[in-house]
């Protein structure tokens, strides 16, 4: 069955698109990626407080708009198209959902409204030595004290940690894997910016030495899996947005470039390559949109008694991440080649999306890892659910 956005969702997309086209031009992206913070606080304030993008998927009683993952996916896709530089993924997607999932009522009321309004920036610190979000080999430990915990460990490749006021850290304590809230300015917290391939997405290493932390009361080991699903779904939609921009760029350039008295877009070989890219992109879009809808039907957002189970959410999220990773990088490589010699130059904007495509391919796990994750989730489902999927 084809996925169709509602009229309200299409109007919302148009509003987000207009804003980002105005505020996130390639010139602005080039300027911001050269700065330490990598984003414009004034633009962030406008998109979070005036347009409400940071809270579109959060409950109304906490200051959000009360919608869900499909609207979150729309924002992510449009940000991918414009290569928006800002802490939306780290703060609004990862940290906000971690708090909603694992925080008690007091913790949510204390932190979430400011994150939703964009006044407080937060990030989610998970990966350690291998850069993947798994709960198998966490060395970061939380030790219980009278009024909370002390955190010791090292987190790597933390997105937008250099801008965060609050860090939510996955660590082990006496109950197993849990999520801990840490003030970025607290004792023993050391944040070191990393030089990465993609300067539009700022990464950092974070060191904790006896840093005071508060455990999110309702955090459980199984919740990390759902947070990976949420993050993968948002990232997949961001990636198909970026791939769409690259495809549009390739099509535009081939129509403008002339050889032998006619546009190279009229050459059969170019037509076939563009058609193949379009087909691949539409398939990846379908997977990304379906992942968002499956997440919207899960227990976290849906009150339906037949809410989507965890295995189905994981299956669709990992399928979307794998498909979007492949098509984004392939489209970037093809776009560079179709631009000819100019495609390899710094002055041409194609390399900006290529770097994002390459970094996103391995972020949260490679396509191969997500296909394995998808198959594991699929095999864990009962036969009747597997057949319907």
pLDDT for res 81: 97
The Cα 172–Cα 139 span in angstroms is: 8
Long-range contacts of 71-74 (CB under 8 A, 24+ apart): 71/9, 71/12, 72/234, 72/292, 73/233, 73/234, 73/237, 73/288, 73/289, 73/291, 73/292, 74/5, 74/9, 74/12, 74/13, 74/16, 74/237
What is the spatial distance between Cα 116 and Cα 233, in angstroms, rounded to a whole number?
19
Place of tokens 């999927």: 389
Mean pLDDT of 230-246: 97
- The pLDDT of 241-268, averaged and rounded, is 86
Name the residue with tokens 């390899």: 344
Rg from Cα positions in the chain: 21
This prediction has a pTM of 0.94
pLDDT(381) > 90: no
Q: What is the mean pLDDT of the chain?
A: 91
Tell me if residue 189 falls in helix, strand or coil.
Answer: strand
At residue 135 the predicted structure's pLDDT band, cuts being 50, 70 and 90, is: low
pLDDT of residue 170: 94
Domains of the chain: 7-86+104-117 (1.10.540.10), 122-215 (2.40.110.10), 223-388 (1.20.140.10)
Q: Please give the pLDDT value at position 1.
A: 45
């Amino acid at each position: 069955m084809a996925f169709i956005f509602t009229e309200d969702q299409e109007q919302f997309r148009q509003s987000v698109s207009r804003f980002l086209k105005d505020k996130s031009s390639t010139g602005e992206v080039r300027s911001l990626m050269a700065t330490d913070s990598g984003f414009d606080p004034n633009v962030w304030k406008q998109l979070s407080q005036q347009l409400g993008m940071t809270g579109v998927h959060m409950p109304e009683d906490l200051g959000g708009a009360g919608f869900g993952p499909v609207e979150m996916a729309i924002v992510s896709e449009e940000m991918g198209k414009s290569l928006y530089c800002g802490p939306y993924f780290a703060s609004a997607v990862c940290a906000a959902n971690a708090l909603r999932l694992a925080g008690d009522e007091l913790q949510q009321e204390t932190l979430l409204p400011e994150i939703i309004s964009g006044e407080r920036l937060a990030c989610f610190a998970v990966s350690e030595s291998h850069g993947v979000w798994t709960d198998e080999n966490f060395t970061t430990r939380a030790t219980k004290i009278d009024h909370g915990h002390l955190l010791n460990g090292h987190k790597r490749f933390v997105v937008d940690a250099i801008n965060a006021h609050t860090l939510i850290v996955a660590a082990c304590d006496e109950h197993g894997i849990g999520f801990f809230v840490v003030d970025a300015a607290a004792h023993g917290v050391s944040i070191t910016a990393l030089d990465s391939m993609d300067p539009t997405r700022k990464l950092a290493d974070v060191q904790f030495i006896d840093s005071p932390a508060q455990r999110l009361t309702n955090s459980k080991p199984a919740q990390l899996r759902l947070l990976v699903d949420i993050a993968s779904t948002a990232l997949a939609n961001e990636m198909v947005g970026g791939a769409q921009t690259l495809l549009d760029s390739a099509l535009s350039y081939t129509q403008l470039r002339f050889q032998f008295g006619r546009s190279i877009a009229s050459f059969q070989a170019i037509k076939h390559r563009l058609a193949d890219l379009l087909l691949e992109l539409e398939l990846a879009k379908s997977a990304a949109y379906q992942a968002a809808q499956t997440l919207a039907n899960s227990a976290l957002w849906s009150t339906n008694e037949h809410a989507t189970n965890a295995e189905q959410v994981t299956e669709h999220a990992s399928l979307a991440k794998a498909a979007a990773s492949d098509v984004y990088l392939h489209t970037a490589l093809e776009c560079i080649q179709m631009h000819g010699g100019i495609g390899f130059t710094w002055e041409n904007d194609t390399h900006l999306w290529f770097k994002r495509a390459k970094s996103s391919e391995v972020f949260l796990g490679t396509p191969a890892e997500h296909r394995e994750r998808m198959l594991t989730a699929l095999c864990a489902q009962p036969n009747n659910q597997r057949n319907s999927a």
